[in-house]
Structure 1
Amino acid sequence: MASPHLDHHLQLLAHLRSILVALGEAEQIPDESHALFLERFDELISGLQDASAPLYLGQDLISQVFHRYPQISHLVPRDLLWFFGGDCLHFMPEEEIALFQELDERRYAAEAQGLPFDWNQEKQLLALPGDSSKH
């Protein structure tokens, strides 16, 4: 059974895949190489679901999205950059990396105490200005 954390990222990958499919349907890119890229993307999703995909495969594919499809780079969920890490972190500013580090620390603390953790809710709390993010 996948964790809520993994499920969240699988949903984001599915969303990104739908954007990539729409890009191909709009005929904005060469079809053959795009079809092969989508196959690798599907392999990543499948591999993450059964825990056989190494994270570096995700790093490679997400980085390729930025290089192959710069027109949609602003649509890549930032959570995926943090999830895969490595070269993906080059696409994140320092402030954003600090936010995700804090999120991970909160998630690990909640898990250690056996408490539920809502990634999206915590991310919203951290994004609040000033001391209003404290709870």
Structure 2
Amino acid sequence: MATSYLDHNLALLAHLRSILIALGEAEQIPDDSHALFLERFDDLLESLPHVPEDRPLGQDLICQVFHRYPQVAHLVPRDLLWFFGGDCLHYMPDEEIALYQELDERRYAAEEAGEPFDWNMEKQLLALPENSPKH
């Protein structure tokens, strides 16, 4: 089922938030600023649907996850790094950036043609080896 690109990333943010909540509940956070960080995260979740092009807060928060919570950095969805861009791209190798550039080109082409676009399916197709049949 195809969902909008924004909805896809909002779902990933909600998932990341649940990971951060669990981290706090497991008392693996040494300082009190975790609650403030989650408040800022909630602000992002609330504002992003209304102002999707306003992504600096998201860039800042995702980068902070890598610095503040290195124990869960590997759980940050790669799609969020691409979605927010900017400094988040420093956490992606060049090959991965190239894959996401191709995905974006396919998404834009589908939008221009008025066709549905399934981000996850297209990502899986791009990840197939070169000699695999693609639709």
Same fold (TM over 0.5): yes
Secondary structure in 1 matching 2:21: helix
Pairwise CA distance, 1:105: 0.2
Name structure 2 gaps, 5 residues minimum: none
The 5-angstrom pairing of residues 42-57 of structure 1 reads 42-51=42-51, 54-57=54-57
Secondary structure in 2 matching 1:132: coil
Q: Residue deviations 1:6-49, cap 9 Å, x none?
A: 00000000000000000000001135200000000000010102
Larger fraction in helix = 1
Q: TM-score of the superposition, structure 2-length normalised?
A: 0.94
Residues in 2 aligned to 1:53 and 1:5: alpha-carbon distance in whole angstroms: 12
Q: 1:34 to 1:115 in 2, by over 3 A?
A: same
Assess if the C-alpha contact under 8 Å between 1:127 and 1:133 holds in 2.
no
Q: Which residue of 2 aligns with 1:75?
A: 75
Residues in 1 aligned to 2:86 and 2:19: alpha-carbon distance in whole angstroms: 23
The residue identity in structure 1 corresponding to 2:5 is H
Supply the RMSD in Å over aligned alpha carbons. 1.4
Structure 1 outlier segments of 4+, above 4 Å: none
Q: Which residue of 1 aligns with 2:19?
A: 19
Residues in 2 aligned to 1:88 and 1:133: alpha-carbon distance in whole angstroms: 32
Q: Which residue of 1 aligns with 2:101?
A: 101
Pairwise CA distance, 1:53: 7.2
Secondary structure in 2 matching 1:97: helix
Q: 1:94 to 1:52 in 2, by over 3 A?
A: closer
Assess if the C-alpha contact under 8 Å between 1:13 and 1:45 holds in 2.
yes
Name structure 1 gaps, 5 residues minimum: none
Higher relative contact order (CA 8 A, sep 6+): 2
Greater CA drift, 83-92 or 22-31: 22-31
Q: How many residues align?
A: 133
